[in-house]
Chains A and B, each alone.
Chain A
Amino acid sequence: MIERVRVAVVGGGPAGLTAAAALARRLGDGVLVLEREAETGGIPRHSDHLGYGLRDLRRFVSGPAYARRLTSAASTAGARLATSASVTGWAGDRALEVTSPDGRRVVEADAIVLATGARERPRPARRIPGDRPDGVYTTGQLQQLVHLYHRDIGKRAVIVGAELVSWSAVLTLRHAGCRPVLMTTPDSYAPFRLTGRVAFGVPVLARTRVVAVNGRSRVTSVDVEDLRTGRHHRVPCDTVVFTADWIPEHELARTGGLVLDAGTRGPRVDTGLATSRPGVFAAGNLLHPVDTADMAALDGRHVAATVLAHLDGSASVTAGPQLNCEAPLRWVAPQLIRAGGPVPVRGQLQLWTSQFRALPHVVAVQDGRRIGSVRLPWPAAPGRVFRVPFSLVAGADPTGGPVTIDLAGFGHSQRRTRRV
């Protein structure tokens, strides 16, 4: 069976639903959202605490309420929302194979938006040895167990990671009556984030990592290594939550042959969020692990404009220079400036650093020439996106070579010595 639509949106989370709502205002039921879960809404569905909707809806609501609002907005605008509908592969340049209880079908579209999100790396992907007992979760699994299935969790939890989502895990554990006894993170800056300690009262062990999970049927303890001394000590617990360490859910992007970015592991996109394949676009945390839900939603709004221009045939296709970055920056998004194209979402580039900088000085260099420089009044910290104004690279020569973004005061010779 073949179904024809104007736009197919893969993934009904904040980015996909917001894109669908914006597109459906013009295209109505020509917009089809394909969501593999039984409900749309994405991760906020099971993130049952306040903190959602700030930058896109100008509201402060819980995750489930946010998921309902975005669903309702897309559906009110006229988009069709197909749930329990998994996209399992490609049937052509802009054609998708879909399995749902209604059958197996091919969806052909004039444009496809990939908004498949990101997931936390589970314990095996982090290569942490030990036994394989029950009681080991990612935040996603933990929150579904607690908030969607109302299951009992243990009594004492160790949380691996100290990022935004880790605090979300703390809230869920508390809600489930499970005491978070320790957060462990290899980063050294975490102790500076006292808000966490004061607000939640969970001890944070910086410069540590979990090196083993112990327990035959149920977790009994984890072994924690102090990265400064190499010493191990055993922390009794019956629950371990592996938080953060996100990776884009990029299977479709890869099997579709889209050019991926080595840093983000998501598809490379231009400032309008077009991928390397004409008519295929991407938005949200598929592009860069990982930003907050409201930022993913703003991506969705942004990509909708590019898709509409593509459908009108008015899209500029002149590729401009690529954006790269140098360590300690891990990635930059978007990665391509399009001549005559839009500025990125909120006029900002997104960057990820592996080292803390209290007052980062970011520079952009093209063909050996410094084309921009900005000193930020806010820190660049590992574990969350930091943003710089797009003006940093606005002076790039559209016909020039790649633009490299770097943290100043961190030249090549210095970097080499530090790596030793």
Chain B
Amino acid sequence: MTTDFDIAVVGAGIVGAAIARLLGGTSLTVALIEARDDVGDGTSKANTAILHTGFDATPGTLEARLVARGYAMLGDYAAATGIPVERTGALLVAWTDEQLQTLPALRGKAERNGYTGCELIESDEVYRRVPALGPGALGGLTVPGESITCTWTTNLALAIDAVNRGVTLLRGRRVTGVEVGPDATRLTCAGGDVTARWVVNAAGLGADVLDGLFGHARFTVTPRRGELFVFDKLARPLAPCIVLPVPSKAGKGVLISPTIYGNVMLGPTAEDLEDRTATGTSERGLAFLLDRGRELMPQLLEEEVTATYAGLRAAIDRDDYLIDVDALHRYVLVGGIRSTGLTAGMAIAEHVGGLLGEALDLTPRPYLPDPPRMPNLGEAGVRPYQDAARIDADPEYGRIVCFCERVTRGEIRDAYRSPIPPADLDGLRRRTRAMNGRCQGFYCGAQLAALSGSPGDFS
């Protein structure tokens, strides 16, 4: 068997891209294999995009450690690459006596996780911080470090960084078969087989299936559907920080969060499904969210809805990340990475690197390229349409084509010229915010369809 690569990383979500980026910085040859036509098109794209401190993780777990470490790593990486982050802080709000009595224990748990920023606050302070909350809040716990970010830019930055470091990105290659040989493993893929000495399974929702192809039967991924509402940017003043429910036996509950794009998000639901492709919203789910929203923040329901989404989280039947190296088969499983994986991704990569370092030489290459500078999708930062000097230098940054989100033709062009250009209109949305606004294409949809249909105009 001829070997194409030293390592193949399967899955170009946040976790796979972070691992490929790390491995790409060594002298090994690396492939990043993605079943879909774009990076970050599975669970990663529908993340709630909160940069977690890890205050509420189960102390002592791998997840707790990697989230706390990832929080610092991604924070630094965001500053270096321009991934937008807003340090809004979070507020857990207690609506019942039982929840109120849980708050001190939650603070204790945060401290056991090494997070000491939490404070208990009274009801009047809760309303001072978030005046639009519905009646009945009894008290709260602050988590000043919780922040909001952009999951799309994070995923893309890691993947572009990996590609810049020499990683081969193969999109549209769904792995359907595995053949482990003495020196190399053949991955049967739609669109062309790939052989590699080592394989890293970061396949998210498909991680258990791929694990099965390697002969394991360790865990089952249950797709957990989370539906959410995104409200109009005009609602943003209602949500100055992330408003979290107090976790209970019934699950984490519904949160209200500002988004990095200046909207307000309400959700998610949590519904275990069988179908790993069921990313549609449901009448029941949306009605549930509206009922909860009406209690949490009645004023929010007066505002227009900009979008509804459903994302699938890769829940597994155990309470921690499942990361394991099978040296015999030169195979690494990175499974059970739930929504905290956005924050933890870079720390997961570091952890995997530590485990692999025993078998492979992962000494960093000298003269690695600088991390990419990402276009700013954050509402709080300066965007091209606001940047007089930039427009003077290149008038295309003054030509707004998506009016609601104020995306310029210059940014659309840049997306198509980037190392990982969009594969379709949805990919363009995630790179630029185009068509993500309140009109959902009423004004700009036709023009953007035309632009995305002939990306050659930009090359």
Say whether B374 faces chain A, with CB atoms less than 8 Å apart: no
Chain B contacts for A148, CB-based, 8 A:
446-447
Chain A contacts for B445, CB-based, 8 A:
137, 141, 144-145
Contact, CB under 8 Å: A100 / B279: no
Question: C-beta contact mask, A189-226 vs B, less than 8 Å → 1, else 0?
Answer: 00000000000000000000001101010000000000
Say whether B283 faces chain A, with CB atoms less than 8 Å apart: yes
Contact, CB under 8 Å: B450 / A151: yes
Contact, CB under 8 Å: B398 / A100: yes
Say whether A406 faces chain B, with CB atoms less than 8 Å apart: no
CA distance A371 to B181 in the complex (A): 93
Contact, CB under 8 Å: A140 / B442: yes
Contact, CB under 8 Å: B446 / A141: yes
Chain A contacts for B442, CB-based, 8 A:
119-120, 122, 138, 140-141
Contact, CB under 8 Å: A104 / B391: yes
Contact, CB under 8 Å: B305 / A127: yes
CB B437 to nearest CB in A, in angstroms, measures 10
Give the contacts of B274-327 with A (CB-CB under 8 A): 277, 279-283, 285-286, 290, 304-309
Chain A contacts for B360, CB-based, 8 A:
none
CB A264 to nearest CB in B, in angstroms, measures 14
CA distance A380 to B426 in the complex (A): 42
CB A366 to nearest CB in B, in angstroms, measures 28
Say whether B114 faces chain A, with CB atoms less than 8 Å apart: no
Contact, CB under 8 Å: B395 / A101: yes
Contacts A131-B280, A149-B449, A151-B449 hold; do A119 and B443 have CB atoms under 8 A apart?
A: yes
Of B280, B304, B398, which contacts A102 at CB under 8 A? B398
Chain A contacts for B391, CB-based, 8 A:
99, 101, 103-104
Contact, CB under 8 Å: B305 / A125: yes
Contacts A99-B391, A103-B392, A216-B277 hold; do A145 and B400 have CB atoms under 8 A apart?
A: no
CA distance A103 to B395 in the complex (A): 7
Residue on A with the closest CB to B451? Answer: A149
Say whether B122 faces chain A, with CB atoms less than 8 Å apart: no
CA distance A303 to B395 in the complex (A): 34
Tally of chain B residues near chain A (CB < 8 A): 41
Contact, CB under 8 Å: B386 / A104: yes
Chain A contacts for B283, CB-based, 8 A:
129, 211-212
Chain A contacts for B277, CB-based, 8 A:
216
Contact, CB under 8 Å: A88 / B406: yes
Residue on B with the closest CB to A1? Answer: B388
Contact, CB under 8 Å: A124 / B279: no
CA distance A129 to B228 in the complex (A): 11
Assign chain A's interface to a size class: 35 or more
CA distance A145 to B446 in the complex (A): 5
Chain A contacts for B272, CB-based, 8 A:
none
Contact, CB under 8 Å: A101 / B396: yes
Chain B contacts for A103, CB-based, 8 A:
388, 391-392, 395, 398
Say whether A310 faces chain B, with CB atoms less than 8 Å apart: no
Contact, CB under 8 Å: B441 / A122: yes
Contact, CB under 8 Å: A251 / B446: no
Chain B contacts for A137, CB-based, 8 A:
441, 445
Chain B contacts for A302, CB-based, 8 A:
none
Contacts A123-B440, A129-B285, A149-B446 hold; do A102 and B395 have CB atoms under 8 A apart?
A: yes
CA distance A216 to B36 in the complex (A): 14
Contact, CB under 8 Å: B400 / A84: yes
Contacts A131-B280, A137-B445, A254-B234 hold; do A88 and B386 have CB atoms under 8 A apart?
A: yes
Say whether B127 faces chain A, with CB atoms less than 8 Å apart: no
Of B230, B385, B388, B441, which contacts A88 at CB under 8 A? B385
Contact, CB under 8 Å: B443 / A104: no
Question: C-beta contact mask, A28-44 vs B, less than 8 Å → 1, else 0?
Answer: 00000000110000000
Chain A contacts for B385, CB-based, 8 A:
86, 88, 99, 104
Contact, CB under 8 Å: B399 / A84: yes
CB A16 to nearest CB in B, in angstroms, measures 15
Say whether B271 faces chain A, with CB atoms less than 8 Å apart: no
Give the contacts of A107-126 with B (CB-CB under 8 A): 119-125
Chain B contacts for A101, CB-based, 8 A:
391, 395-396, 398-399
Contact, CB under 8 Å: A86 / B400: yes
Say whether B403 faces chain A, with CB atoms less than 8 Å apart: yes
Contacts A145-B446, A151-B446 hold; do A122 and B440 have CB atoms under 8 A apart?
A: yes
CA distance A84 to B397 in the complex (A): 12
Contact, CB under 8 Å: A124 / B305: yes
Chain A contacts for B449, CB-based, 8 A:
145, 149, 151
CA distance A214 to B307 in the complex (A): 17
Say whether B329 faces chain A, with CB atoms less than 8 Å apart: no
Say whether B112 faces chain A, with CB atoms less than 8 Å apart: no
Binding site for B on A (CB under 8 A): 1, 36-37, 84, 86, 88, 99-104, 119-125, 127, 129-132, 137-138, 140-141, 144-145, 148-149, 151, 211-212, 214, 216, 247, 251, 254-255
Known contacts A99-B400, A104-B391, A140-B443; 12 additional CB pairs below 8 A are: A86-B385, A99-B386, A99-B391, A102-B398, A103-B391, A119-B439, A120-B442, A129-B282, A130-B280, A131-B279, A141-B443, A145-B445
**9 A-B residue pairs with CB within 8 Å:** A36-B403, A104-B387, A104-B391, A122-B438, A124-B307, A131-B280, A145-B446, A149-B450, A212-B280
